[in-house]
Structure 1
């Protein structure tokens, strides 16, 4: 009977603890047992833990966000954090704090190219995100064993938690050091050259545009060795992008280029993106679909959207107003910056880069998508299969 009462009490205690969130108000370690010097990993101030037991002589058994289980001192466990916390820093703790111009909280950087962040600490679990060399990731607990998993989602919640192996994250890689390491490799060490050149390219994108050309010069050497025609063509396109970005125009030059932009839609030139709702229907007919969307920023004319094969528009039916949001480029539609700068269905992606590469923003994380940034908005320009597909006007919150 005593055993039954104990189990019921333990169950009720765990249920109670599960309803609250617990945080560490100082750096500490996850020890293998109370009063032990042996430990499994490092916690940073602010890390969340799950309590697995009542306090035992000043120690809690806890679970870290990667499911490691061990012990921490009771004095470091709190239900909330505040400015009065006396933080004891562990000088051996490798986790980086915020304030390095890359991430505001506890973090590490991705060391591997194309790193797969998984839904669970299991190499066969679903891939939630692909991360690039130099990406900062939130880390509150890191195990000592480099082959253990780390939660890089910064949260216990299944919605936000993501996992990778410890050996794939650490201090931010140094671009110049990677370049030197690559240049030292034997030209026939193709596998090593490929791995390192991929890291160099991704880190260049996570640095500044000036690093893209030297990165792609080395990567181009490798893809020519591999002799994959598609890879070579893609790399040539990215090299063209790199050359354009290295000579990027000033904001005022970009604004002057784009300020008189207008659409030509079925032969109708739009000095403004605005129509009356009646004129929109008169020109384009009834929409194939109407849908209300959430507009948290309030940047659109209305939550109601009209969808056409040619375009999408935000429409306020009561006020008889319509605003063009996205245009699909075809033989009927084009964007005109000036008589010598027309974006139409004949424009290839390569030609676009060669002509306008100094005006655009680009990212390896969104291939074939480009932006022309203005003060309060941007043109988002999308290509598919090498051809101009759509242009969207995006307004900032």
Structure 2
């Protein structure tokens, strides 16, 4: 009989652990079922938890999304969230609510440069993502121990879970304060200057473009001290990029700049990104590969694609039409933005930035890839080994 009771109890716990439960208020994770007990961390409204026990005098033993275990009161647990939830706010809870300019849900910001987000709460586990200073990340449970792990995916889904240490998360860093911190450092404190300057650069990319110039000025000081030729070249490229981005053109100027953009394919000049199927076959021959793709947004001319070694085209065979999606730039293919901006395989990345840096968008997370925004789409230009490699058009869904 005792075995039967144990089995029923175990099955009940297993069932609870598999169901989804949420917190209808801010609360804390306690070490024992007592509001006067020590606590391990803070929960924010909407956090998901796993139940590990039956209700015990108004308390449940639960597991937080970082796999920590403890106790919370039964009144804060719900199977779904609604407008009648308690939503009692804990004034000491450091987790930020949604609604600021950076993130819509519960969150904190990355404080360290090049922070590794891992698949498991383990320093040897797979790296899922590299995060930058100033990146907002979702946080629903925050331990008080700075060396504990935080789940920055916000749920128990192991396929997408991401973890980092508590000490690397906090309120959004202040750019001006970081500049002052760097400027106060002794010139011989190279490691500290490198750490702070990397944070400054990453935070600048997570701010406005006008912050990039003062960020790279300081970083360049450090790079010269390091005397790394490759890093010097890369930093000088980024300084040129910062100058262009800081003087960014207005949207209407950029659209006017790209209005007559088209391609030259083996000397055949297209009309914008469109080409008749007849001209495509005449110029490029029959495609080595044809494939149908899933186009849920309906953004392409057709779901039928022709793939050439240096060209990808969406094709409507019945209408005798083609829409060029991607072109690999080589001796035969050029991207012509207008009569004064002809981009071919000899164009260096630095020359491109110096000439057209005021027209482009860029991101630290996608180095050497630049976009030029249009009304309903954008051109994406990819540079490899310092030369223009490909041009691809992306439509907004």
* Distance in 1 separating the partners of 2:12 and 2:362: 53
Q: What's the TM-score once normalised by structure 2's chain length?
A: 0.98
Corresponding residue number in structure 2 for 1:88: 88
Corresponding residue number in structure 1 for 2:367: 367
**Aligned partners of 1:46 and 1:140 also within 8 Å:** yes
**Aligned partners of 2:29 and 2:43 also within 8 Å:** yes
Matches within 5 A, 1:156-167: 156-167=156-167
Shift, 1:309, TM fit: 1.3
Further displaced range: 187-196 or 275-284: 275-284
Corresponding residue number in structure 1 for 2:349: 349
Q: Secondary structure at the match of 1:215?
A: helix
Q: Which runs of 5+ in 2 are unaligned?
A: none
* Distance in 2 separating the partners of 1:381 and 1:124: 36
Corresponding residue number in structure 1 for 2:75: 75
Shift, 1:160, TM fit: 2.0
Shift, 1:375, TM fit: 1.4
* Distance in 1 separating the partners of 2:288 and 2:361: 33
Corresponding residue number in structure 1 for 2:202: 202
Corresponding residue number in structure 2 for 1:135: 135
* Distance in 2 separating the partners of 1:292 and 1:34: 58
**Aligned partners of 2:17 and 2:52 also within 8 Å:** no
Corresponding residue number in structure 1 for 2:8: 9
Q: Secondary structure at the match of 2:125?
A: coil
Q: Secondary structure at the match of 1:197?
A: helix
**Aligned partners of 2:265 and 2:283 also within 8 Å:** no
Corresponding residue number in structure 2 for 1:29: 28
* Distance in 2 separating the partners of 1:50 and 1:373: 45
Corresponding residue number in structure 2 for 1:185: 185
Give deviations 1:107-142, integer Å, cap 9, x for gaps. Answer: 000000000000000000000000000000000000
Q: What's the TM-score once normalised by structure 1's chain length?
A: 0.98
Corresponding residue number in structure 2 for 1:234: 234
* Distance in 1 separating the partners of 2:183 and 2:273: 51
**Aligned partners of 1:154 and 1:160 also within 8 Å:** no
Matches within 5 A, 1:1-397: 1-2=1-2, 4-35=3-34, 36-397=36-397
Shift, 1:227, TM fit: 0.2
**Aligned partners of 1:254 and 1:373 also within 8 Å:** yes
**Aligned partners of 2:290 and 2:304 also within 8 Å:** yes
* Distance in 1 separating the partners of 2:208 and 2:236: 19
Aligned residues: 396
Shift, 1:102, TM fit: 0.4
